[in-house]
Amino acid sequence: MLLAEWQVGQVFWSILWFTLFFIWIWLLILVFSDIFRSKDLGGFSKAIWVIFVILFPYLGVFVYLIARGHKMADHAAADAQAAQAAQADYIRTVVNNAGSPADELAKAADLKDKGLIDDAEFESMKAKILGS
């Protein structure tokens, strides 16, 4: 019954409108995220942009894209570089803290000498470090 009421053109238009609506929502998210992460805008300017986009959604987003679209790309590139630098720093700290097997064996031997672990625990640690 319901299927008989829907024509191919109506399905196409429904899918098209849904897609355009989804793109519109995504543009709103991008604009709001760019407004709030902009370090070159003051608090008052951010408030004006937010109010403008909320009161006049279509016009506000289009004006923002025209006025500050080039800044959006700059902000995205800066965020990507910051994320890459943070990841590189994290990798460096993990690699530097890993230590060599000789260092790990020396630590295990020191624990054994201090009496904090017994011979069986030392052999177990030694086997883990050497991978055998």
Specify whether the backbone of 99 is left (phi greater than 0), alpha (psi in -120 to 50) or beta: left
Nearest to 68 by CA among 19, 22, 33, 44: 33
The overall pTM is greater than 0.75: no
According to the model, what pLDDT value does residue 3 have? Answer: 58
Phi, psi torsion values for 73, nearest 5 degrees: -65, -40
Q: Above 90 in pLDDT, residue 122?
A: no
- Closest by CA to 65, choosing from 32, 21, 106, 104, is 32
As to burial, measured by CB atoms within 10 angstroms (0-12 exposed, 13-18 middle, 19+ buried), residue 21 is exposed
Q: Tens of pLDDT along 15-29?
A: 999 999 999 999 999
Asked if residue 9 has pLDDT above 70, the reply is yes
Average pLDDT (21-40) is 90
Q: What is the predicted pLDDT for the residue at 82?
A: 93
* Mean pLDDT, residues 31-60: 90
The mean pLDDT value for 43-62 works out to 92
Please write the tens of the pLDDT for every residue from 54-107: 999 889 999 999 998 888 888 889 889 999 999 988 888 877 766 677 778 888
- Report which residue type is found at 129: I
